Structures are given as C-alpha cells and as structure tokens.
Structure 1
C-alpha cells in the first residue's frame, strides 16, 4: 500500500493530527493503482494566487499563469493579499513521497495552472470574487488544457431578499455560460459550498455542471460554517487541514477550516481518476466521485463491479438524489479515493 514518507502525512510532535483529512478519504490503496508513467493532469487553481514553495517545485505552470482580475496572461499571481491559493494548491499537488513536508492528494500526477481572481483592489477575500474575473478565469482554464478546475472561492455574501428577508446568493449568467463552455470541453469543475453556515449553496458551487462540496469535521459531522442545500454533491474533510504556508518557502504552518480546503480534496480526486483512466469523460468522473462517496458509518461500493461492464454511453446513469443515499448536508457522502480510483480503473471507454 502506497503510504507516503512525507513527515507530515502521519504527523509529528508539532502537528500530531498530521494530514488527518487526507488519510480520512482512504487514498493509499487507490494511489497503488496509478500508472508508473503518464502525462500530468492540468488542474486549474482559481484562487488568490500561488506562491513558489519547496514542496511545489516543478508542479506549478508559472510560465502559463493568468491574472483574471487584470486579464493579463503572464500577470501577477503572487499569493500575498489574502494567502489562500497556495494552501489549496499544496493540498492538491504537494510533491509526495519525497521525505519533505506534506503529501498531495493527487500523488505527483498533476501540474497546477495558477489563476488569480482576487487582489487588494478587487474583492475582500476569496469569498468575494467578481463574476467577470471568474468567468474569464474559467475560460482561460479550459482553453489552456485544464481537465480539472478547482474553485475554492465564492462570489460574495448572501443578501436579504424579499419581504421575508430570505438569504440568497446572486447568480450571474456570464459565469454559468463560462462553466457550460468548460464542461462541454470536457473539464470537471469543483467548488466550495460556502462558509456562511446557512441552508443555501454559494455560487459558483450552485451553478449547473459544478461539483458542490461541503465540509466535515474530525468527527464526521457537518462543519458549523459549511453551507448546505439541494446542490450539494459530496463532502470532504474541512477542519484544521494542514497545508503549506504561502508566506514561507519551507513552511507548513497553515491550517485551513472551511469548505474551500474540502473542495480541493475533490479536485485532487478528479485528477487521480483521470490519471488512472485518461479516456474517461468528465461525466464519468463526476458520476464516479458521487457514486463511490458514502455517508459516514456506511460502507461504500464500486460504481461498476465487473471488468468490462462499464461499456457504452448508458453505463453510468445519474444517481437519484433521495434519502438515505443522499442528503442536503453531505450530498452522496464523503469521498473515497480508493473506491473512486478502483471504479475508474474498471470502466472502459473507447
């Protein structure tokens, strides 16, 4: 079983819990399924930027960076205003099994495409991204080869609407249109459910063709800050998740709590699925992630149970969003890396 030798994976005296979130999603037997060689999957990290870090060396496409705020290819993507994107990128793509720092969810299978969508002049933080910048970022991502687009961001706080003062987020047609273009091009899009602790899913997670991710605690309960709602697809760990420090080239002092870091586990899993079976369609990947997730305390199952049974366009029908299999807090449940990768390895596509 592929247990990485990165010192923070199991933890140490300073960080005794180590990477509990990564261990929680059952990755080790799944990592064993990875091919010895193969092209790296491009994962776009649409966020506050990505800084160089000792455990990301060689895993970030800085030569293809994009600042969507200023619409500048090769523009500034430094992660200094609200250090966030570096930690997200690290959770997805930290170099693994190198006796250094932390393990990445994707176990050396990805290159990060860094795309900046918030700075000191546009938005207060990663939860106040301007829709025009987000739409540009999504279009740049898929046009530049991203098979996975990770959006650990939201478009702003909910507003009170109507006489009943109902909390609602605002949708923007230009963002949905960009998402639709990316999905039609074959990308898997993942986004955080939001950290307002309400029964509404934030955008972009609430748009069609996006995997909406809620967050769980170390006790497998919904995070207090995690949003919930009918668009929730799956859940992933989101409490005190250890990741790299954007402001320290060899630091790992950042611990994230929220749905943004939870979403990055799902982004990493999508890349792993493409790595083990590059012929899969994005619709297959979404269905595998949902179908192998399971509610805490219940066993998970493979999406396809026999070699060759996954042939044909109707092999993976949509899952019914009904209890007890699905609910509005954890969706289809917590993701399971080994079950998802095993299912992907079985599924055949021409």
Structure 2
C-alpha cells in the first residue's frame, strides 16, 4: 500500500471541500494501519489539512472530514471500512432551577442506595473513574478534592471545563466530598478523570466517544461512566467498547429517557452495564427505558447534585441513575481492584433489591432490580473470597 498516496488523496479532498461532517475509516489490517499512522505523523507538519485527522489506534481507525473520504471509499474499499460519524446526545430528561446550597448534604439517591452505610468498608479510594461527558467545573468546592486533570478532546491542551452543566452534575453524584457544608457523592474518595467529548449543547460525534474510550484504556482508567446514547448501532463504537471490556475496564451506560421498551446504544451492547432509573418509591421512573437488557436501576428522579458556578441543581434522567451505579461500582473496585467487567455486572445483578411495580407491569420486562451498595459490597467481595478458596492449596 502506498501510504503517501493515501494521505495525499485525503489532503486533496479536505482542501477542496468544506469541513463539516466526518467519517470513521477503520483498517482491516493492523500492519497497514501502523504504516498509515507513521506516514500521517510525518506529513502533518507539511500538510495542514491533515491536522484535522484524528487517530484511534485501539480500533485501527482514523477520523477524517467527510470531504476526504469519498475517493478512499472507491480506491481502498478492500482495505478500509468507512462509517458515517453520527451525532450522539447526553441523557438528561428534565431539570429545576439553580440553587446556591444543596437541599441536603447527602442527597436522597445516595441515601436510597445505602452508600453512607457502605462507607465504613469503602469510600472508593484511589479508583479512577473516566467521566466521558461535557467536562467538569474545576472550581466547585465539593469537587476540588476529587478531580484529576483529564483531557479535552474538543480543544486539546485546554482543561476539560464544563460549559453545559451535565458533566458537573454527574461528577457530584459520583464523588463529591463537600462534607456538611456541601454535598457527598456515592464514592467520595474516588478520583474523577473528566474526558470532555460533548460540547456546550450536550452533543458529540461517535468518534469523540471512540477517542475518549481509547484514551481511557491507554491511561489505565479503572471504570467508565457514559450517561448518553443514540438510537442506531455504530460498528466503531461497539468495537472500542469491546476493546475496553477485554482490557478489564467496565463501562456503565444509561439506557435512555424515552419511557419505552428497548433503549439506546451503547447501553444495549452486551459488554456494557445498562442502567435504568427509579423514583423515590423504587418504581421504574416513567421516563426510563426498560427491558431485559437493563442490569440495574439507580435513583434518577429529581436528583440534586453539583452545578456550574459553585451551585447545585435538581435533574432527572437515566444519566443521574447511571452516576449512582458507577459510584457504587467504584466502592467495590476499591476492595476488588482486579474485578472484571463480567464479574462486576454479575455482582450488580445479584445484589439488587426488587422493584415496586406499577399497575400492569411485569418485573421480567423491566430488567434488573434496584441498586443497593451494601449488598453489592457483600456479594462482590464474597465472590472474591469464594474464588480464593477454590484455588489449589488455598487455606480453608
């Protein structure tokens, strides 16, 4: 393969067309991808158009402006797969007005999953949570002690500062540590690693998510929270989710807010942990998607958490439910750092408590039960002890 000619063709089409939509180009052969990547690095300094090309080595992919993909689709059809770079949205359903103080130091959802009762065993210390979202408010007093620098995929070199609010809200439920003066999240000693993939409107491209997961795998993040979704399948997104799964990094994803059976991707991929939302009465929230693929339900209705400019806000959605589940998973990972994504999913499913049903609902059609952090730690660590006893020569 002539790698120079390949990139020259991309450069010419980028220069000729407007920069708008994008395409994901995935190489079938890892050796050819490596050759193309090496050539790209050499040419970027001299071909300014190629600086718009991004790479995901984890799935052997390049993200290029759509204008640069047309010739490639014809000329290199046997070597690469071309996928449209679709848009994807955060999962927020409704919100209330902003307040300067939290209604409670420990929000109802954190209490409902019994996180405070679990803190005597684990607070999630040192567990790194990759938060692929809109960024985080680095100045919020309840989050300062919980944040790592992370990465801004939209503006490399800048901090992943939140210009929407959704990411900050998720971060608060995950690991706020404001004590009595602020609010406490589910895993107050975990480390949030913000990965800004979404813009101020809460929209991103699939390729931004691919690059975010790729970055999390390369930087050995322990756990990934993904409170967003799309209606259609993406081969590239599924492939990078599988890569993270095989690398031992659990991905916890929200099911969506359409109030229907079925749900959004990536939650519907079997390699993720799919989350639905419940209300204060432990019933499936009216807006939550449902189905047998959902592994666990978390509090998602009128959840108060951190917001921009050192404030707080009440929001509803499966996004909020997902942050409770990810926080509880961090509590378990602190005790079992080697737990696999499959083991974590099984522990979550086995430790849930039954949902309360609305009229006419059948539990089997709703998916897993309600999250319980105390039961999760007990069942999750018991599985580890059982595995040790099963080893040859292990003490009884």
Report TM bin, short chain: 0.7 to 0.9
Cα 1:227–1:173 shift into 2, 3 Å: same
Does residue 1:77 correspond to 2:160, yes or no?
A: yes
Q: Which runs of 5+ in 2 are unaligned?
A: 1-100, 389-396
Partners of 1:23 and 1:39 lie apart in 2 by 19
2:186 corresponds in structure 1 to 105
Alignment TM-score, normalising by the size of structure 1: 0.75
> What are the equivalent positions in structure 2 for 1:1-350 lying under 5 Å apart?
15=103, 19-34=107-122, 40-52=126-138, 53-62=140-149, 65-69=150-154, 72=156, 74-80=157-163, 82-95=164-177, 98-108=179-189, 110-120=190-200, 124-125=201-202, 128-155=203-230, 169-246=231-308, 248-249=309-310, 251-252=311-312, 254-296=313-355, 327-329=364-366, 331-346=367-382, 347-348=384-385
Q: Which runs of 5+ in 1 are unaligned?
A: 1-12, 156-168, 299-322
Q: How far apart are 1:281 and its partner, in Å?
A: 2.5
Cα 1:14–1:287 shift into 2, 3 Å: closer
| Structure with the largest fraction of helix | 2
Partners of 2:320 and 2:137 lie apart in 1 by 17
- Structure 1 consecutive aligned stretches of length 4 or more whose deviation exceeds 6 Å: none
SS in 2 for 1:279: coil
Q: How far apart are 1:87 and its partner, in Å?
A: 0.8
Cα 1:229–1:129 shift into 2, 3 Å: farther
Partners of 1:60 and 1:101 lie apart in 2 by 16
Aligned positions, number: 282
Q: How far apart are 1:30 and its partner, in Å?
A: 1.9
Q: How far apart are 1:16 and its partner, in Å?
A: 6.7
| Structure with the largest fraction of strand | 2
Partners of 1:16 and 1:103 lie apart in 2 by 9
Deviations 1:28-68 (A, max 9, x none): 33221128xx9601000011111111011121111xx2223
Cα 1:237–1:39 shift into 2, 3 Å: closer
CA RMSD of aligned residues (A): 2.4
Larger radius of gyration: 2
Partners of 2:232 and 2:356 lie apart in 1 by 35
